Each structure stands twice: as structure tokens, then as C-alpha cells.
Amino acid sequence: MPVVMDADRMGRTLTRIAHEILERNRGIEELAFVGIRRRGVPIARRLAQTIREINDHQIPTGALDITLYRDDLMRHAVGPQPVVRRTEIPFSIDDRRILLVDDVLYTGRTIRAALDALIDFGRPKSIQLVVLVDRGHRELPIKADYVGKNLPTSPLQSVHVHITEIDGSDEVEIQES
């Protein structure tokens, strides 16, 4: 299982993305992070923390669960239903510029579901996509605005992101299946 990103590298990658976000967005008070459960949430929190260390501004951060918006829920129902977790967006997204955060960008279907879910909460001014890893193989016309690492993979491989808050360590690894 080759590790393609260790804790040190992940820390520097997130710092770089935080700077890119600041560079590209003037009017920081309109920004808000929404992390996709599960691992998008701690990544979003870290980006918010890093930005606060840079310019002392706290960007509000929410958590979005997209399970109820999945396009494969009732289509190939095998086994129990996926666990639904709480969505917590403690601010209005109306007229904000939303930074949607996930760990891995793959087919794009999670992002499609997340966009549908977000629109149910209001009408943001814009939505930008932040991912730690882009592994390719898109099935929908979706592209990330901020990418931690482009990782060429084969569809047979799986990419696992470990985040300390959930998994006890920071690393990204590729598994052959």
C-alpha cells in the first residue's frame, strides 16, 4: 500500500490551498466552508483554522451529509441503507461564496449530490470546489477549483485518505483491489 502523501506533506498542501483561497477571493467575509461528511469536514475545519492563523479572520464552517441525495440509493439496493449523518450548516448560505470541501474527487457523483443538497439550503453567490486528492475518472462534468494533489490512478485501485480527527493519522494511500 504505497503512501502517496504523509502528514507533513498534507499539512503543507492544506496551507498552500489556504493561501490560494485567499489569493483568489477578495471579500473574505462572504466566504464559508462546507465540508462533505465524513472526511471533508475535518479538512474544511483545518483550512478555516489555517486562514485564521494567516489573517485572523474566522470563516464559518458547516458539515453536509449527502446520503439522502445519492443517485444510487434506491437503484441497486443491496444490503442495509447507508448510514445518514447530521447536516449542520449553522449559517445562511444565501449570497455567500461557498467553498465545498471533500477528500477525494473521483466520479463526481458525490459533488453532484452535494450541489443539489446545498441548493436546498439557499442561493449562494457561488460555489467553489476544494479537494485534497483528484484521482480522475470523472463520470459527470465536474472540475475542482483547488486541488491538493492530482493522483493518476486506475479504476481498479482505491484511494484512502486518513485524517487524524477520524482515523488517528494523516496520510493518503493507494490500495490495489
Partner 1 sequence: MKKDLLGIGDLASEEIHLILDTAEAMREIGQRPIKKVPTLRGKTVVNLFYEPSTRTRTSFEIAEKRLSADTLNIAVASSSVLKGETLADTAMNIEAMAPDMIVVRHPSSGACHLLSRICRSRIINAGDGMHEHPTQALLDAFTIREHKKRIDGLKVVIVGDLLHSRVLRSNVLLLTRLGADVWICGPPTMVPPGMERFGVRVSMAVEDAVVGADVIMMLRIQQERMQGAFFPSLREYFNTFGMTAARVARAKPDVIIMHPGPMNRGVEIASDVADGPYSVILEQVANGVAVRMAVLYLLAGEPEGE
Residues that bind partner 1 (CB under 8 A): 65, 68-69, 73-74, 77-81, 83-88, 116-117, 120-122
Minimum CB distance to partner 1, residue 124 (Å):
13
C-beta of 50 vs 110, nearer to partner 1: 110
Minimum CB distance to partner 1, residue 83 (Å):
7
Minimum CB distance to partner 1, residue 60 (Å):
17
C-beta of 1 vs 74, nearer to partner 1: 74
C-beta of 28 vs 119, nearer to partner 1: 119
Q: Alpha-carbon distance 74 to 164, whole Å?
A: 33
Minimum CB distance to partner 1, residue 81 (Å):
4
Question: Which of 175, 151, 149, 173 has its CA nearest to residue 161?
Answer: 173
C-beta of 63 vs 161, nearer to partner 1: 63
